Structure 1
Amino acid sequence: MTNNTVPGDAGLHRLATHKAFLKLIPLMCAIYFMSFLDRTNVALAKIHLAADVGISAAAYGLGSGIFFIGYALLEVPSNLAAHRFGPRRWISRIAVTWGILSTAMMFVSGEWSFYILRVLLGIAEAGLFPALMYMVTLWFAGKDRAVAIGWIYTAPALALMLGNPIGGALMQLDGMGGLHGWQWMFMIEGLPSVLLGILLYFKLPDRPGDARWLTPAEAKSLEQHAVIDAPQHANTSSGDWMAALKRPTTILIGLIYFLNQVAFVGLYFFTPAMVSQMHISSPLIVGLLSASVGMGFLIGVLVLPRIHRRVSSDAVYLGVLTMGLVLCAIAFIATASFGGKIALFVVTAFFAGGVLPSYWSIAMKRMQGVQAAAGLAFINTIGLLGGFVGPYLFGMAETATGRSNAGFNVILGAAILGLLLVPLLARSIRNESVR
């Protein structure tokens, strides 16, 4: 890798990076916040969808997870489109279409309409997260990426923390205007995404050189430190980006991420149901207690990437966090205490959510340019399949036992399998480093 930086550039780069954190990250957080809010607000509607339109726990689990099928299958082509047309245009298009479809969730009338709208919502949102990760590779040096991704991940954490209470409050509008509370929630939370997508078209710069708030020297410094792919390489051959998909490290990170998503996505889609089965009947209180998952997620993404900066072995770091998730699942299954279970929602989300920035920073160390666009999308594709499998397994566990918290057995199994893959990842990383 060629180093094109010049002596004395460190101070300039620090200033430019600080500007990028202040100007760019809030826009990326805003769009990811809305996507997560619109993706997960269905969790609060679970019980009411069953009562109002007859959607069973198993059908809810399938519909929640089926979102990830179209999302996953279109991740790579969608992110290659972001590489070709520019993240700004592509992210704006994604936001407008998913906002419209999220609003349309208010028209769910049965299982099939629920399935269809969830599939369409996943197709519309496909490519958003890897496009954001691709932007990170264009703007930030390797040493800053884990922290940048950690800040981006505060968006879904806040969506879980704030979205559940807000959604619970909107559910209190039940009966107003002849609409159910969940219909008001889908409508009021979907429309802002359309407006935000339009705003991003005018405010989100593709690359440092497009940012009016950077001087030419600052933009050049960011681009050199990020080692971006030059515009003339936009039409790199398919063999170049296909190489990123075949690397063992890419596949193993994707598989570990898959198992993480089985556990974590299932957790946040079923937490409101678990809380409801703790004899809590008020939608607002259910929303407030369910925010415990978002709280643990937020603490994790703010703390763990900074610890990762100081750890020399990526594999050891992942192994420790995955073992933490195993122990949390065992503790939750073993405890009968109401307070203990709420606390374990926080700690479980700390490990399961806080590790997410590290998957991406580990992958980004090993790819750039069109390979980053394709490789990061491929990892996300594998992970998103876990987002389908997780809620489905949680739904099956609830159907079999009658208890939503039976899903913690799914978390335990997924975490153990993920832990078994960590040594294989360590070996793959070592093999790549000696080539």
Structure 2
Amino acid sequence: MNATTVDEGMGVIHRLATRKAMVRLIPLMCAIYFLSFIDRTNVALAKTALAADLGISAAAYGLGAGIFFIGYALLEVPSNLATHRVGPRRWIARIAVSWGVLSTAMMFVQGEWSFYILRVLLGVAEAGLFPALMYMVTLWFAPKDRAVAVGWIYTAPSVALIIGNPLGAALMQLGGVGGLHGWQWMFLLEGVPTIVAGIVIYFKLPDRPTSVRWLTAQEAQALETHAVVNVHGHAERFSTDWLAAIKRRTTILISLIYFLNQVAFVGLYFFTPAIVGQMHVTSPLLVGLLSSSVGFGFLVGVLALPRIHRRVSNDCAFLGSLTAGLVVSGCAFIATGNQTVQIILLGATGFFAGGILPSYWAVAMKRLQGVQAAAGLAFINTVGLLGGFAGPYLFGLTETLSKRSDSGFNVIVAASVIGLCLVPLLARAIRAEERPGAGHGAAAHLKTSKADSPG
């Protein structure tokens, strides 16, 4: 048997193992991320009720919605280093149970300060979840499969945006039952399932390919071998110096671009119900249904765009084109007064702002390995979370000043234009890393990246 035949056989084994891993892991990862997104964003539906029942203003709501990301961001890197140390299964289960408890406790909010405190604690509890999922992707999937794997994971928040708003609106109709407000029922009935899911994760989510029985020894070895990025001449990528990953120019620039994306996208989905509500839509259920347009656009984006990315040779050109699309959709929303067109443009904005996310992570994962992946991916998410704080806060300020929720689209356009300007700098940094003799990217790695990358 010659070497070519052996390589082809190993390729078949790896493809089969990858399909098995996708089927076994992705549903669990999607489920836990879906619940986290429901618990994180259901406060958007409670905005009006919190103002009426507790006197929480639009600016206070924007601060409370965004302050969640401060506690989250501060603990992202330490949390993901703990993921590397104790294993994803235990750590993700711990995260889910603790944030489920605190999400349920949101039903006891009494005013602005208790609102702020519980939102901060919720962020602290959830810190590290998403980068832990991304770290798992680096352990299980080859670089060429990661954008698709991450795209599948991102279907969770997109579906949450589609069904979460109508579901939350329906639960709020329970107001008066048992002497509770509708928003209290929503927090209770959407928080408890997360606690249950955390327990299931502890028993069902494996850490590595070699720790499961549903893979043969050959399949497990194939997954672990292909998941390792070719770092010939780049020992620093296997270094235990996790700070080196954070200092890398590509990591910093991806973080900044992701920050600006999150300013736009997080602000959008926290304020979409309010934007729809100002269109003279009075039914809470109809507000929830129309608000799901952002989720539909998001879902189409994360399913379609990673597959397109695999066929594009230039990562940064792809990122730039999607960011430009976001600028166009934002400007179009501002320019039109037709409410039907605006609902469609909410979906288009979700398509570009959300659909681009798997590509950010695929580009970052190519340059990070081992503990550096744990630290670098957590750092990128930390910076993005700061954008998640800034976005709702800026949307709240613009609404307070203009008296219109849709004025937040000016924030979307401004953040996207700045992000578009940073994409060429990222392209230059990537070329510098890939330049032979540059220390971060020999020709051998460049060839491997092009062969294995999703772009």
TM range (shorter): over 0.9
Cα displacement string for residues 266-291 of structure 1 (whole angstroms, at most 9, x for unaligned residues) = 00000000111111111111110111
Partner Cα separation in structure 1 for residue 239 and residue 109 of structure 2: 41
- In the TM superposition, 1:226-265 aligns within 5 A as 226-227=227-228, 240-265=241-266
8 A contact 1:100–1:194 mirrored in 2:
yes
User: 3-state DSSP class of the match of 2:110?
Assistant: coil
Tell me whether 1:36 sits opposite 2:43 in the alignment.
no
Amino acid at match of 1:219: A
Deviation at 1:154, TM superposition (A): 0.1
- TM-superposition CA deviations, 1:375-406 (whole Å, max 9, x none): 00000000000000000000000000000000
Tell me the SS of whatever aligns to 1:387: helix
Q: Is the 8 A contact 2:72 2:124 kept in 1?
A: yes
CA distance in 1: counterparts of 2:318 and 2:238, whole angstroms: 35
| CA deviations over 1:198-224 (Å, ceiling 9, x no partner) | 001000000001122111111111000
- The residue aligned with 1:275 is 276
Contact 1:261 1:384 in 2 (8 A): yes
Question: In the alignment, which residue of structure 1 is the partner of 2:144?
Answer: 143
Residue in 2 that maps onto 1:333 = 334
Alpha-carbon separation, structure 2, partners of 1:127 and 1:228: 23
Q: 1:135 corresponds to which letter in structure 2? A: M
Q: How big is the shift at 1:239?
A: 6.0
- Matches of 2:306 and 2:72, distance apart in 1: 26
8 Å Cα contact 2:80/2:375 also seen in 1: yes
Residue 421 of structure 1: aligned partner: 422
Question: Does the Cα contact within 8 Å between 1:228 and 1:369 map onto a contact in 2?
Answer: no
Check whether the contact 2:258–2:360 (CA below 8 A) recurs between aligned residues. Answer: yes
Query: In the alignment, what sits opposite 1:232?
Result: none
1:179 matched to 2:180? The reply is: yes
Please show how residues 106-255 of structure 1 align to structure 2 within 5 Å. Answer: 106-227=107-228, 240-255=241-256
- Cα pair 1:137 1:228 within 8 Å, conserved: no
CA distance in 2, matches of 1:108, 1:407: 26
CA distance, structure 2, for counterparts of residue 123 and residue 155 of structure 1? 21
Counterpart of 1:274, as a letter, is: I
CA contact (8 A) 2:35 2:194 kept: yes
- For 1:55-87, what per-residue CA distance to the aligned partner results, in whole angstroms no more than 9, with x for missing partners? 000000000000000100100000000000000
RMSD after superposition: 1.4
- Give the aligned partner of residue 342 of structure 1: 343
C-alpha displacement of 1:238: 8.5
| Residue type of the alignment partner of 1:223 | E
Q: What SS does the corresponding residue of 2:30 show, helix, strand or coil?
A: helix
Q: What secondary structure, in the 3-state scheme, does the structure 2 residue paired with 1:95 have? A: helix
* Percent identity of equivalent pairs: 74
* Counterpart-to-counterpart distance in 1, 2:213 and 2:68: 37
Please give the alpha-carbon distance, in whole angstroms, between the structure 2 residues aligned to 1:258 and 1:357.
Answer: 14
1:55-74 equivalence runs, <5 A: 55-74=56-75
SS at match of 2:45: helix
The 2-side partners of 1:220 and 1:194 are apart by 33
Deviations 1:330-383 (A, max 9, x none): 100000001000000000000000000000000001111000000000000000
User: Measured at CA, do residues 238 and 118 of structure 1 come closer, stay the same or move farther in structure 2, by a change above 3 Å?
Assistant: farther
- 1: distance between equivalents of 2:42 and 2:211? 35
Indicate if the aligned counterparts of 1:79 and 1:373 stay in contact, CA closer than 8 A: yes
Residue 409 (1) aligns with residue 432 (2)? no
Cα separation, 1, equivalents of 2:229 and 2:69: 30
C-alpha separation in 2, matches of 1:228 and 1:204: 24
Equivalent position of 2:433 in the other structure:
432
Task: Give, as a single letter, the amino acid of the residue that structure 2 aligns with 1:433.
Answer: E
Q: Does 1:96 align with 2:97?
A: yes
Alignment match, 1:80:
81
Question: Quick one: distance in 1 between partners of 2:424 and 2:199?
Answer: 45
Question: Counterparts of 2:283 and 2:52 in 1: how far apart (Å)?
Answer: 15
The 2-side partners of 1:130 and 1:34 are apart by 16
Q: Is the 8 A contact 1:70 1:120 kept in 2?
A: yes
Q: Is the contact made by 1:37 and 1:163 (CA closer than 8 Å) also made in structure 2? A: yes
Query: Which residue of structure 2 aligns with residue 304 of structure 1?
Result: 305
* In structure 2, distance between residues paired with 1:6 and 1:271: 54
Consecutive unaligned residues of structure 2, counting only runs of 5 or more, are 231-236, 439-455
Is the CA contact (8 Å cut-off) linking 1:138 and 1:228 kept in structure 2?
A: no
Instruction: Say whether the 8 Å CA contact 1:104–1:187 is kept in structure 2.
Output: yes
Q: SS of the counterpart of 1:41?
A: helix
Distance 1:24 1:193 in 2: 18
Confirm whether residue 319 of structure 1 aligns to residue 323 of structure 2.
no
Letter in 1 for 2:181: H
**1:240 Cα offset (Å):** 1.6
Where does structure 1 lack aligned partners over 5 or more consecutive residues?
230-235
- Structure-1 separation of matches of 2:371 and 2:246: 11
Alignment correspondent of 2:24: 23
| Whole-angstrom CA distance in 1 between matches of 2:205 and 2:239 | 28
Q: Quick check: 2:36–2:194 contact (8 Å CA) kept in 1?
A: yes
Is the CA contact (8 Å cut-off) linking 2:365 and 2:373 kept in structure 1? yes
Name the SS of the counterpart of 1:341 in structure 2: helix
TM-score, structure 1 as length reference: 0.96
In 1, Cα distance between equivalents of 2:246 and 2:286: 45
Report if aligned partners of 2:238, 2:369 keep a CA contact under 8 Å in 1.
no
Distance (whole Å) between structure 2 residues aligned to residue 255 and residue 12 of structure 1: 39
Please tell me whether the aligned partners of residues 261 and 353 of structure 2 are also in contact (alpha carbons under 8 angstroms): yes
Paired residue type of 1:253? I
Question: Which amino acid in 2 is paired with 1:41?
Answer: N
Q: Secondary structure at the match of 1:213?
A: coil
Report the Cα distance in structure 2 between the residues aligned to 1:257 and 1:413, rounded to whole angstroms.
14
Please tell me the residue identity of whatever aligns with 2:363: I
Q: Separation in 1 of the partners of 2:238 and 2:218? A: 31
Q: Deviations over 1:132-165 (max 9, x none)?
A: 0000000000000000000000000000001001
Q: CA deviation at 1:237?
A: 10
Q: Which amino acid aligns with 2:391?
A: G
Pair 1:351 & 2:352 matched: yes
Equivalenced residues, count: 425
